[in-house]
Chains A and B, each alone.
Chain A
């Protein structure tokens, strides 16, 4: 079983739609989680950090459910520019101070006009 698992998609949604991605993690000791966005042929960029139960930034909301070991990302009022791959990431709790992260394979979102 992969340590961080995501549905690869693609998720095809019309502009203005609300879309949600789920991500599950296997290490119950993981404390920190992140969502990164990666555009085609570009580097990943940090979208949101999730330390407690959730985080909200404009149209984006991340929620953490520790009991079920999953993290979700909700995007409201989708824009064409939201089309990208979204990476779910967990901090490797066993890595000490090395700061190693565990990346999911990513979920691809295509927003259509």
Chain B
């Protein structure tokens, strides 16, 4: 069966510090991978998605970046955090085809607080 891991679970960082969040998927090959952010009391905002190694698409302009160095590894980074980067960061995966069953499965998330 497939599992998705994220770490750390919680993080408190000062403004201006760097960020690196990691997501790994087990039990599947060549998944589509996604990074979302959910601000407190708000809906899910898609930040990045990737359909393969080294392929990253950005959905919104921001000071975050993403990388996919391996098939089942997805990393979210920032060189300098802003207060507005606080939120709940969720990684998700889906099967990489255009089939109808495009369910996405989420990791447990990282709760980031920027002070």
Measured CB to CB, the residues of A under 8 A from B are 31-32, 34, 41-46, 49, 51, 87, 91, 96-101, 103-106
Contacts and interface: CB of A to CB of B under 8 A. Distances in A.
A42 B110 CA distance: 10
Contacts of A51: 100-101
Given A99-B95, A100-B49, A32 B102 contact: yes
B20 interface: no
Q: How large is the interface on B (under 10, 10 to 19, 20 to 34, 35 or more residues)?
A: 20 to 34
A99 to B, nearest CB: 4
B44 to A, nearest CB: 5
Contacts, number: 58
B104 A98 contact: no
- Interface centre among B32, B97, B106, B108, by most chain A C-beta atoms within 10 angstroms, is B106
29 contacts: A31-B100, A32-B102, A34-B103, A41-B111, A42-B108, A42-B109, A43-B109, A44-B44, A44-B90, A46-B103, A46-B105, A51-B100, A91-B100, A96-B98, A97-B51, A97-B96, A97-B97, A98-B32, A98-B49, A98-B57, A99-B32, A99-B49, A99-B98, A99-B102, A101-B104, A103-B43, A103-B44, A105-B42, A105-B43
Interface of B: 32, 34, 42-44, 46, 49, 51, 57, 88, 90, 94-98, 100-109, 111
B106 A43 contact: yes
B90 A97 contact: no
B104 A43 contact: no
A45 B103 contact: no
